[in-house]
Structure 1
């Protein structure tokens, strides 16, 4: 059976100053290749922006070592709002973004050499692997984990996005969406209790899901392996991180998956009760890139985006763009072609 999701394309991060934030992310996570830098009105997202059309600037930045990127997103028509409370692990929404590295120790050294603040000591996850917690200047949390899928050998100490941690109110209710419809069928761990790498004394249930990867899809070799960790706070009633706020406000606004077959995915999600809440239906132009995009909400309202790319900028200074709609869906793009992006 062909894979429908080929990887995490990006995680959306709402910021108040794109240029300032992107500089920090380049230093911390090596996301120095811009796929697009676009200003436009987000007309199809009105239901998530107060039933008004708002303008924004968005930059999709990749780390060519491999992994997904960041869609760094800034309102141009309003001041973005921060969460009204200090959210904690287990609150509803994207709690943290997983970033892959080759070595936790060497990445920690890189952070010390660059005087990066907000970095934890080495931590141990439930599967006995090492990781770091990194908090950016805007209070967004990242988990740096060791990964084994790489696209190229570059100087950056990390790769890109390889997963997310999502707070849910009921893991059993959320599992069918992530494991069945989205294909995260492998369970790495499923544990309950207190954990040395989380807030002391708080009881959680944690389920780490992994999607078996196939060499299928235009960008599958670039994105590599992907994980979803679902986490449920067992001691308190969680709060919704984006309650009374807009998509595009400060923080992690969505996780976006690259898709091979949007129509089939729509059927799978609808069959489990997760209808598309947004669907561009045809090609949606983002200036230097284009494709079809859609959204669903998980059981707690966390926004999940899907993108089926139609046009990709390769050598922008020469005006060379690739029409992906004309290619076979299963066939990966040649490595040399992807490397022309940066």
Structure 2
């Protein structure tokens, strides 16, 4: 039975990272300039009625934009409360604090990306160096105090001149590395262990402390799903700090407050995934149950918490706008979920591009 369930859902990649901001238009403008997140999939103003578990029982209003980089990778869901003023963490978020510490961004040329991001006003946290598995990298902060890790990666969906691609993955702080791996490896499909080490690390912003790190990735033979080719294979790095007290990044705050609010995976077979996750001790805490409108797009979404209460979102996309100006939509519910959409159809999304 377990094997059957395991085969009856699929993870297609990281669809987007939710980023809580004070001003959605100001933030999106910077992300377009810095990370070429310039193709909107939807822009929507609504009330988050299903998320009251994480908003103190009150249905809060928000304005959100889901934007993609057509070079390939996951997108950003840039998310602003409109019914309240979002609150910051109130402390400096450090590697190993519990939750999403950093978002990994894929680049083809590290030196070119370094100069470009400096010119955009990014605060450089580390000099270019190598990850434990020998890949070029550096860390930075955006103007809104969010940390990004820039990582060289050869996967791409389309050729363009952008200095960066889209989201490669996330760095998630955990309290117990060994206890945290199972969810991401066995349930969520990040089944390739690139490294697992305990040491001090020159590539991290805190170079003097000891960390336990595990880099998990999706298999590289190609993502399934309608938009799998666009999303590209993704990574999740789990990180546990030794010798310092850790803080919960969203402790005392609401989902939607400032910072990285969730990591969203694109899936098919949501109901079977829900059963599998519950059997493994990670029941869904939010479930839209059926199709839910997100402006011009729609889908079935759900959330679960990892061991340290980091929120992982799942979206099974039902409808997506390809050419919004001409009301052209794709209905994905009845197609073969293992096959990618034809590349030319996905590339039509770029006709919605918003200039930096």
**TM-score (normalised: structure 2):** 0.94
Q: Separation in 2 of the partners of 1:219 and 1:84?
A: 37
Task: Check if 1:164 corresponds to 2:170.
Answer: yes
Task: Classify 1:23/1:269 alpha carbon distance in 2 versus 1 (closer, same or farther; 3 Å).
Answer: same
- Map of 1:234 onto structure 2: 242
Task: Check if 1:147 corresponds to 2:153.
Answer: yes
Alpha-carbon distance, 1:148 to partner: 1.7
- Map of 1:338 onto structure 2: 346
- Map of 2:288 onto structure 1: 280
Task: Check if 1:298 corresponds to 2:303.
Answer: no
- Map of 1:203 onto structure 2: 210
- Map of 2:3 onto structure 1: none
- Map of 1:116 onto structure 2: 121
Residue-by-residue CA offset, 1:257-277 (whole Å, 9 max, x unaligned):
000111221122111100000
53, 58, 67: which one aligns with 1:61: 67
Q: Separation in 2 of the partners of 1:248 and 1:58?
A: 10
Alpha-carbon distance, 1:2 to partner: 7.1
Query: Secondary structure at 1:257's aligned position in 2?
Result: strand
The 8 Å contact of residues 13 and 73 in structure 1, kept in 2 or not, is answered as: yes
Alpha-carbon distance, 1:179 to partner: 0.5
Q: Separation in 1 of the partners of 2:10 and 2:245?
A: 34
- Map of 1:309 onto structure 2: 317
Q: RMSD in angstroms over aligned alpha carbons?
A: 1.2
Alpha-carbon distance, 1:197 to partner: 1.7
- Map of 2:233 onto structure 1: 225
Alpha-carbon distance, 1:215 to partner: 4.2
Query: Secondary structure at 1:21's aligned position in 2?
Result: helix
Task: Classify 1:105/1:68 alpha carbon distance in 2 versus 1 (closer, same or farther; 3 Å).
Answer: same
Alpha-carbon distance, 1:299 to partner: 0.4
**Mean Cα displacement is larger for which, 121-130 or 88-97?**
121-130
Query: Secondary structure at 1:326's aligned position in 2?
Result: coil
Query: Secondary structure at 2:319's aligned position in 1?
Result: strand
Map 1:23-38 → 2, pairs under 5 A:
23-38=29-44
The 8 Å contact of residues 300 and 316 in structure 2, kept in 1 or not, is answered as: yes
Alpha-carbon distance, 1:200 to partner: 2.6
Residue-by-residue CA offset, 1:286-324 (whole Å, 9 max, x unaligned):
121000000000000000000000000001111100111
Alpha-carbon distance, 1:32 to partner: 0.4
Gaps of 5+ in 2: 1-6, 351-356
Q: Separation in 1 of the partners of 2:11 and 2:112?
A: 31
The 8 Å contact of residues 3 and 216 in structure 1, kept in 2 or not, is answered as: no
Alpha-carbon distance, 1:127 to partner: 1.1
Query: Secondary structure at 1:25's aligned position in 2?
Result: helix
**TM-score (normalised: structure 1):** 0.97
Alpha-carbon distance, 1:236 to partner: 2.0
The 8 Å contact of residues 2 and 216 in structure 1, kept in 2 or not, is answered as: no
**Mean Cα displacement is larger for which, 70-79 or 260-269?**
260-269
Alpha-carbon distance, 1:121 to partner: 2.2
Residue-by-residue CA offset, 1:200-249 (whole Å, 9 max, x unaligned):
32111010011114342101100001000000011123110000000000
Residue-by-residue CA offset, 1:114-154 (whole Å, 9 max, x unaligned):
35331242122111211121210111000111112111111
Q: Separation in 2 of the partners of 1:48 and 1:131?
A: 34
Residue-by-residue CA offset, 1:187-210 (whole Å, 9 max, x unaligned):
111110111122132111010011
Work out the number of aligned pairs and report it.
Answer: 341
Q: Separation in 2 of the partners of 1:115 and 1:218?
A: 33
After superposing on structure 2, the runs of 4+ consecutive aligned residues of structure 1 that deviate more than 4 Å are none
Query: Secondary structure at 2:253's aligned position in 1?
Result: coil
- Map of 2:269 onto structure 1: 261
Gaps of 5+ in 1: none
